[in-house]
Each structure stands twice: as C-alpha cells, then as structure tokens.
Amino acid sequence: MPGVIQVVDSPSRSAAVIRMTVPQRELPTVMKPAIDELLAVLKAQGVRPAGPLFNHYLSMDGGLFEFETGYPIDTPIEPSGRVSPGELPAAKVARTVHFGPYENLRHAWAVLDSLVRAEGLTPVGGIWESYQVGPESGPDPSQWRTELNQPIAG
C-alpha cells in the first residue's frame, strides 16, 4: 500500500449480492462458492458485472463478519437462491489501493485507518474492498490490486 489516501465522493451502485455471516477464518472458504453462484445467476439472467467483485463489511464484531459479496450491475436482477439485488451506498470515503496478497489486507486496513486518523478524518462503519486485479489475472500475488474504501464522516 503506497501510504496515500484520496478522499472522494463514491456514488451508490446497484449490485447483485450474497449476504453472509461467518467467522473471519472461514472467509476464504466461502468466497469461491459465492462468486460462482453470483456469476451463474448473472449469466442466467443475461446480466454482466459492471465492475469488479467487492466485499462490503456491515459488521465485524467479535471476529464474526457480516458482509455482502457482490458485483456492481447496471441492469436490475431478480432474486435467485442466495443472490439478491443490493447496492453499495453513496458515501464520502478515504480510498487507497493495496498491492499484494489478500492475506495482507488486514494490515492494509490498519494502515488506512492510521492514515485516515492522521488526516483528522473520522471513520464510520461500512467499509468495502473492491478486487481490481486478483488471482484470475495471474498467480503472482504481488500483482494483485485491491481498492480499500473507508467511509468517513462529513
């Protein structure tokens, strides 16, 4: 992570999502089946993702993650299985990009939190990460890129 943040107004985005609540350690296990299910539902309904996969964290209390994983979409979808219409909310966010493997995201979030506070900004809940470049693009994790979005007050 380059240690640089941008403060931007992020517009709301319609999305196809699966909401889950799992212990943090199970996150890697539940992601592949969720991604496969999302893509199958989108394909069956003739809808293409309008951006990269994201995880929107609603709560992370006590190591239990309540979150939505999904894809932004420009065409409405019908609920199917665990997939339902959702959205990434509009928010003023502090944003940065993490380069590297997903195992380092926890540290990247801690660095972002420190940078936000050092700038005198007030973090609020509902963080999300957008997987700009990941394993599907190649096996070298140093090339993976994850956009981190920390909503801030004001």
Buried b (16+ CB within 10 A) or exposed e, 108-140: bbebbeebbeeeebebeebbbbbbbebeeeeee
Is 1 within a domain? Answer: no
- Which helix H or strand E contains 42, and what residues bound it? helix 27-44
pLDDT in tens, 41-88: 999 999 999 999 999 999 999 889 999 999 999 999 999 999 999 999
Provide the pLDDT for residue 43.
98
Whether residue 80 contacts residue 44, with contact meaning beta carbons closer than 8 Å, is answered with yes
- pLDDT level of residue 3 (50, 70, 90 thresholds): low
- Is the residue at 81 inside a domain? yes
Which domain covers residue 116, as residue numbers? Answer: 6-151
Q: What's 70's domain CATH number? A: 3.20.80.10
pLDDT bin (cut points 50, 70, 90) of residue 136 is confident
pLDDT at 1 over 60: no
Extract the tokens encoding 141: 């994790």
Of 24 and 11, the structure prediction assigns the larger pLDDT to 11
Of the pLDDT bands very low, low, confident and very high (cuts 50, 70, 90), residue 2 is: low
Task: Indicate whether 49 belongs to any domain.
Answer: yes
Hey, is 24 helix, strand or coil? Answer: helix
Q: pLDDT digits over 89-130, tens only?
A: 999 999 999 999 988 999 999 999 999 999 999 999 899 999
Q: How far is CA 82 from CA 36, 56, 68, 87, in A?
A: 12, 16, 11, 15
Q: For the chain, what is the domain count? A: 1
Give the burial class of 69: count Cβ atoms within 10 A of its Cβ; 0-12 exposed, 13-18 middle, 19 or more buried: buried
In a domain, 34, yes or no: yes
Task: Name the pTM for this structure.
Answer: 0.93
**If you average pLDDT over every residue of the chain, what do you get?**
94
Task: Judge whether 71 lies within some domain.
Answer: yes
Over pLDDT 70: what percentage of the chain? 98
CA 142 – CA 153 distance, rounded (Å): 32
CA-based torsion, 43, 72, 140, 66: positive or negative: negative
Evaluate whether residue 44 is within a structural domain. yes
Residue 39 lies in a domain: yes
